[in-house]
Amino acid sequence: MTSKTSPLANAARQRLLQRVEAMQDAASIGMSDRVTAELKSIDFSTLSGYDELRFYRSLGQKFGVESPYFRMHEGLAGSHTQIAGKALLNFSSYDYLGLNGHPEIVAAAKAAIDRYGVSASASRHVAGERPVHRALEQALADHYGVADSLIFVSGYATNLGVIGHILGPKDLVIYDSLAHNSVVMGGVLSGAARRSFPHNDLDSLDRMLASIRGHFERTLIVVEGLYSMDGDYPDLPRLIEIKSRHSAWLMVDEAHALGVLGKRGYGSAEYFGIDPQQVDIWMGTLSKTLAGCGGYIAGCHELVEYLRLTVGVFVYSVAMPPVIAASALKALEIMHREPQRVTKLQQNGATFRSLALNRGLDIGNGAGTAICPIIIADSAPAVVLSQRLLERGINVQPVTHPAVPAKASRLRFFLTAMHADAEMAAAIEATAEELGQVRDRMRALGPLL
Ligand code: PMP
């Protein structure tokens, strides 16, 4: 094999050499403060949080604990999976209704590929759309009983881009303290004033609005239909009453509520029996129950039209690959057609919760939904416990500080409609056994952890 070096690579190599030489010179002659500061300013390892990453990596190496992240799944990861050649019970899949890999969805995806290829290659504005884009938007609008909807290539970017776009410096965004990072960052992008209220504390939200709402033009309240860290949900009827009284918009992120809450899995509105039109902005993702990828906004005609024509994250970004739109559309159809999947998932949530409580585990705010936290408190034991369970054939992810408050690190079990009762019982038994041992070992290691 011949190795050719492009002019670009040569130039980059030259720059690197110069930088290394500058560093060596500075080190040998004793660097001035200015040179030190300059070198630091171009050194990526001085970026915020990098030291902490290194610290945790070395701690893990010292105690022989592997990183629980980026585990490599070798096939479809649903209620079961395979990692490093080993078959495992899986509690780290958001495929709540077990639709990923469903033959009808696979067939719809293949048909879309045959017809459109795999990419839409550019924005719908400039390069046009495909019938599956509009069909999915119509189906989502019908699902919520609202006028229209718009799909985006990423759920994260949907929150970021939409919140960042509809609010400005004269406005206020106020969200639950457990709201997803994409909501928080959307607020940052908007330039609006930002406040958070304690998790699910709607009295506090009401009081905050009473004292500050008057200082702002528009106010957006953002909550999740089902919280992905705690597995609990807000009191939606009360939120609607509060937002109406304070003339605010209410946005509900249904990423984890779709397919999970409500008798037929329609989400928060169905669960609480409210008219979906009372919520100003429904947001959701296609990546979980709908076995796809991307986000959506559903609401009134004016909102969706405005976004379709102006929001940068849609206007200046590639259209959703038709194959994804086609598979999410089929997944939504199957969810509507087979409500027994939702029933089984809800039974699993209740079963898992009572199994955990009977075994004396702390499930925090877990409300018996498809997400059940097992609170461990400190981060290190949560990570070690996850590894011990992996060795026992159970894949479950730890969530540690800062993703959750300090002393609230946990294992987070995601249930699917495909988990059997015996599998959930085995997981709880193994967790309780291993947790006792891990805690004893951690106590012996002392206060460092
Ligand atoms: N909102 C919530 C509540 C989420 O949990 C997530 C991701 N898990 C997102 C938005 C982002 O969605 P996606 O991963 O589909 O980009």
Looking at the fold, whether 73 and 173 belong to one and the same domain comes out as no
- In the chain, the N- to C-terminal Cα span, in Å, equals 50
- The 10s digit of each residue's pLDDT in 396-406 is 999 998 888 88
Q: Indicate if 75 and 187 belong to the same structural domain.
A: no
Average pLDDT on 62-87 reads 90
The residue range of the domain holding 372 is: 56-90+339-445
> In this structure, are 354 and 303 located in the same domain?
no
State which amino acid sits at residue 285: T
Lowest model confidence (mean pLDDT) among 25-34, 45-54, 82-91, 361-370? 25-34
Same domain, 155 and 198: yes
Q: What pLDDT score was predicted for residue 260? A: 98
Say whether pLDDT at 376 is over 70: yes
Pick the more confident residue, 93 or 449: 93
The reply to whether 356 and 256 lie within a common domain is no
**Which whole number is the average pLDDT over 128-143?**
97
Q: What spacing in Å lies between the alpha carbon of 232 and ligand 1's midpoint?
A: 16
The residue nearest atom 15 of ligand 1, judged by CA position, is 155
Per-residue pLDDT averaged across 185-193, rounded?
Answer: 98
Do residues 243 and 152 share a domain?
yes
Residue 14 lies in a domain: no
CA 140 to chain centre: 20
Q: Average pLDDT in the 135-164 region? A: 98
Last-in-domain residue among 303, 337, 371: 337
Expressed in angstroms and rounded, the spacing between residue 371 Cα and the centre of ligand 1 is 14
Mutate to test the pocket of ligand 1, among 93, 283, 285, 412 (most ligand atoms within 8 A of CB): 285
**pLDDT level of residue 1 (50, 70, 90 thresholds):** very low
**Residue 212 pLDDT > 80:** yes
Ligand 1 binding pocket mutation candidate from 176, 180, 399 (most atoms within 8 A of CB): 180
427 and 345 in a common domain: yes
337, 359, 379 — which closes off a domain? 337
pLDDT for res 65:
79
Atom of ligand 1 nearest to the CA of 293: 15
**Do residues 309 and 344 share a domain?**
no
Q: How far is it, in rounded angstroms, from Cα 60 to Cα 64?
A: 6
The pLDDT tens digits of the residues spanning 40-73 come to 889 999 998 888 888 878 877 877 778 888 999 9
Q: Are residues 116 and 174 in the same domain?
A: yes
Instruction: Point out the ligand 1 atom lying closest to the alpha carbon of residue 224.
Output: 3
Cα of 228 to ligand 1 centre, how many Å? 9
Q: What separation in Å is there between the alpha carbon of 284 and the centre of ligand 1?
A: 8
User: 214 with 300, same domain?
Assistant: yes
Q: Do residues 302 and 343 share a domain?
A: no
Last residue of a domain, one of 294, 311, 337: 337
List pocket residues of ligand 1, CB cut-off 6 Å.
154-156, 159, 180, 182, 224, 228, 253, 255-256, 285, 287, 295
Residue 194 CB neighbour total at 10 angstroms? 16
Asked whether the beta carbons of 73 and 80 are under 8 A apart, the reply is: no
Query: Which of residues 349 and 61 earns the better pLDDT score?
Result: 349
Evaluate if residue 123 carries a pLDDT over 50. Answer: yes
CA of 287 to the centre of ligand 1 (A): 8
Separation CA 233–CA 337 (nearest Å) = 25
Per the structure block, which two tokens stand in for 170? 């004269």
Q: Is residue 259 part of a domain?
A: yes
Q: What is the CATH number of the domain that holds 354?
A: 3.90.1150.10
Percent share of the chain, pLDDT over 70? 92
Q: What is the pLDDT of residue 225?
A: 98
* Partners of 88 in the β-ladder: 81
Query: Tell me: the pLDDT tens digits for 286-338?
Result: 999 999 999 999 999 999 999 999 999 999 999 999 999 999 999 999 999 99
User: Per the structure block, which two tokens stand in for 58?
Assistant: 């070395």
**pTM for this structure?**
0.90
Residue 39: inside a domain: no
The answer to the question of residue 19 being in a domain is: no
| Between residues 20 and 244, the one the model is more confident about | 244
**Which atom belonging to ligand 1 lies closest to the Cα atom of 94?**
8
Residue 40 lies in a domain: no
* Contact by Cβ (8 Å): 108, 326: yes
pLDDT above 70: residue 3 = no
The Å distance, Cα 340 to ligand 1 centre, comes to 25
Q: What whole-number percentage of the chain has pLDDT above 90?
A: 81
Cα 260 to ligand 1 centroid, rounded to whole Å: 15
User: Is a pLDDT exceeding 60 seen at residue 449?
Assistant: no
- 97, 342 contact by CB (below 8 A): yes
> H/E/C letters for each residue in the chain?
CCCCCCHHHHHHHHHHHHHHHHHHHHHHHCCCHHHHHHHHHCCHHHCCCHHHHHHHHHHHHHCCCCCCCCCCECCCCCCEEEECCEEEEECCCCCCCCCCCCHHHHHHHHHHHHHHCCCCCCCHHHHCCCHHHHHHHHHHHHHHCCCEEEEECCHHHHHHHHHHHHCCCCCEEEEECCCCHHHHHHHHHHCCEEEEECCCCHHHHHHHHHHHHHHCCCEEEEEECCCCCCCCCCCHHHHHHHHHHCCCEEEEECCCCCCCCCCCCCCHHHHHCCCHHHCCEEEEECCCCCCCCCEEEEECHHHHHHHHHHCHHHHCCCCCCHHHHHHHHHHHHHHHHCHHHHHHHHHHHHHHHHHHHHCCCCCCCCCCCCEEEEEEECHHHHHHHHHHHHHCCEECEEECCCCCCCCCEEEEEECCCCCCHHHHHHHHHHHHHHHHHHHHHHHHHCCCC
Higher pLDDT, 34 or 110: 110
Whether 6 has a pLDDT exceeding 70, the answer reads no
Residue 44 lies in a domain: no
pLDDT at 162: 98
pLDDT surpasses 80 at 15:
no
Give me the half-sphere count of Cα atoms (radius 13 Å) on the Cβ side of residue 385. 34
Question: What's the gap in Å between 253 CA and the centre of ligand 1?
Answer: 9
Matching residue, tokens 């239909």 = 225
Residue owning the nearest CA to atom 8 of ligand 1: 255
pLDDT band at 356 (very low <50, low <70, confident <90, very high): very high
Residue 2 has a pLDDT of 37
Question: How many structural domains compose the chain?
Answer: 2
- pLDDT of 7 above 70: no
What's the pLDDT score for residue 53?
A: 83
Please name every residue paired with 223 in a beta bridge, in sequence order, or none if there are none: 252
pLDDT at 43: 92
> What pLDDT is attached to residue 30?
64
Q: Which residue has the tokens 């702002």?
A: 216
The larger pLDDT score, comparing residue 417 to residue 62, is at 417
In-domain check, residue 212: yes
In this prediction, residue 62 carries a pLDDT of 76
Looking at residue 36, its pLDDT comes to 87
- What per-residue confidence (pLDDT) applies to 107? 98
Q: Note whether 82 and 161 are same-domain residues.
A: no
Q: In the predicted model, what is the mean pLDDT of residues 378-387?
A: 92
Report the mean per-residue pLDDT for the chain.
92
Distance 167 CA to ligand 1 centre (A): 20
Identify whether 97 is part of a domain: no
Q: What is the CATH number of the domain that holds 297?
A: 3.40.640.10
Our mutation pick for probing the ligand 1 site, out of 287, 290, 324, counting the most ligand atoms within 8 A of Cβ, is 287
